[in-house]
Amino acid sequence: MIRASHVCKNFGDFAALTDVSVDIPTGSLTALLGPSGGGKSTLLRIIAGLETPDSGTIEIAGADSTRMSPQNRNVGFVFQHYAAFKHMTVASNVGFGLKIRKRSKTEITKRVNELLELVHLEQFAQRYPAQLSGGQRQRMALARALAVEPQVLLLDEPFGALDAQVRKELRAWLRRLHDDVHVTTVFVTHDQEEAMEVADSIVVMADGKIQQVGTPDELYERPASDFVMSFLGPVTTLGGRLVRPHDLVLSAEPVDGAVAAVVERVVRLGFEVRVDATVGGQPIWAQVTRYRSQLLDLRPGDTVFVRVLEPAASPVG
Amino acid sequence: MAKVSLRVVALTYLLFLLVLPVAVICWRTFANGFGPFWDALTAPSAVHAFQVTLQVAIPAVIANTIFGVGVAILLVRHRFVGRKVLSALIDLPLAVSPVVVGLALILVYGRFAPIGGWFADRGIDIIFAIPGMILATIFVSLPLVVRAIAPVLEEIGIEQEQAAWTLGATSWQAFRRVTIPAIRWALAYGMVLALARCLGEYGAVAVVSGNLVDQTQTLTLFVQERFGNFDAQSAYAASFALAVIAVATLLLIQLLRPKEGTR
């Protein structure tokens, strides 16, 4: 388990982390999610030992590692921009940690080959990083981090520098890899879709504080605040409270608890239809199925009745 | 048309300033054939001057390499009070006249100065001896290695080193296996540049060496002294040797430069 207790970190006047406490269970795949400048990368770097906290402690697997240097922590770290050793071949990059640990040549070769197979880079072993694509370089960086069998694998916006298609592939691949390797993994992202798709548990951070910790479902269904709710998915306001647009039910006839709305615009996005309307002059939007939209035959200027589908996805606190 | 005339002006300028003098040196050196040139170059005083030049230049380049790498890392990787002052001081030798440098060194390390006296009491002469000449040469070539590698250090960033740390490398291992290979071409470029400057230094060395024939005479001092004593053949031969070394270094620099930034 990784345990951060009351961690504070300031950069000059800027409070990057304020009294952050969180437990990350062994073997989990956890996302640190939040807007940029929220402190998530700082927390990750403090866990790795690349930054020292101003106060508070970090425990890794029961041992206090707050003052331990990064080389003794046995963590694997993957950087957004790969941090590939440009003057070394792919195989030497992956074998670097083992060479530092003075393992035998045969052992290094064997382990490097295993890892290159794991990240599907076998045929690139003798290439240099400059000859690889971004996605390949990041897989190499991951193999390099895994080679030393770290207790903890830390990834700082690992797919942030890649284009959308490669990013999607690597996400699914990281999920499968974690299912095979089971190393405790923490990755930083500002992309809620990425966090929801890949992680078992999500730590939402903003303004240097932890906003909520939970599984993707818990966070989506029972957000602790308006901030978490709006960060994790689309929201709209009805009667002064935040609701998910897909939790709004539209009907042609007035029903209990429904309010009248005037349709402004109907946009078809494939299977989904987005309905923009106003309730008492306030804009609102609902997400309905194509089937439902056809049944109602909505046109701009029509009046519809809107209510929230219960159980409502509204903030608990 | 303007382009052509500009080219003519530039070439004429270089012809009179550079090509003509060097060509005349070559011509004068070999005016009486290869024999006299070879005799002049292999005369005991010339050989000794060449040896002294190396004795001064090699330690100076080594010192500047170690110091240059250290200071470049300090300037690029660390933020501290006085960083800007240090950065400005590094460039001072480019602005100060070498003769002034020589005089200043005499004032500090001369036999009758406190520091120089302390060494003299222990039998170590600094001024009018090799140590002072090395000091003067280090001083004049101080910024060359720092300025060659600092931008490259800046460009590669610190993440490769941090990656090495997380993989278990100590600071020294990360430096030796990651940082040095990443800056090796810039470092080689800076060292060659420093070597060229050290071999050619005249002013500061002339002041601190005392120009003692067969003792503290470098190749540049030898040229000047021979020329003054109407031994033109020796002066031409040594000048030609210096010019050949300079051209060789320039070629080496050209070879090293394009490698920068690749891989």
Please tell me which of the candidates A75, A84, A87 has its beta carbon nearest to residue B166. A75
Range A217-234 average pLDDT:
92
Interface test with B, best of A77, A128, A140, A157 (most B CBs within 10 A): A77
Q: List, for residues B8-21, the tens digit of each pLDDT value.
A: 999 999 999 888 98
List CB contacts of A94: < 8 A, sequence separation 6 or more.
Answer: A112, A115, A116, A140, A143, A144, A147
Please tell me which of the candidates B160, B170, B184 has its beta carbon nearest to residue A85. B160
The stretches in chain B having pLDDT less than 50 are 260-263
More confidently predicted of A111 and A293: A111
Nearest-Cα residue of chain A relative to residue B168:
A71
Q: What is the per-residue pLDDT for A316?
A: 46
Q: List, for residues A273-296, the tens digit of each pLDDT value.
A: 999 999 988 899 999 988 888 888
DSSP per residue over A1-50, as a string? Answer: -EEEEEEEEEETTEEEEEEEEEEE-TT-EEEEE--TTSSHHHHHHHHHTS
CB contact under 8 A, B173 and A100: yes
Structure tokens at A26: 């062994």
**Position A114 pLDDT exceeds 70:** yes
CB contact under 8 A, B163 and A85: yes
Q: Report d(CA B94, CA B72) in Å as an integer.
A: 17
Residue given tokens 């052509």 in the structure block: B4
Q: What residues are paired with A153 via a beta bridge?
A: A76, A185
Is the CB of residue B223 less than 8 Å from the CB of residue B162? no
Is the CB of residue B117 less than 8 Å from the CB of residue B111? yes
Helix (H) or strand (E) holding B104: helix B98-109
Residue B20 at interface with chain A, using a CB cutoff of 8 Å: no
CB contact under 8 A, B163 and A87: no
Range A115-133 average pLDDT:
94
Is the CB of residue B148 less than 8 Å from the CB of residue B111? no
Helix (H) or strand (E) holding B55: helix B44-77
**ipTM of predicted assembly, 2 dp:** 0.86
Q: What is the per-residue pLDDT for A311?
A: 58
**Position A35 pLDDT exceeds 70:** yes
Residue given tokens 């990787």 in the structure block: B77
CB contact under 8 A, A73 and B166: yes
Q: What is the per-residue pLDDT for A280?
A: 86
* Average pLDDT of chain A, as a whole number: 91
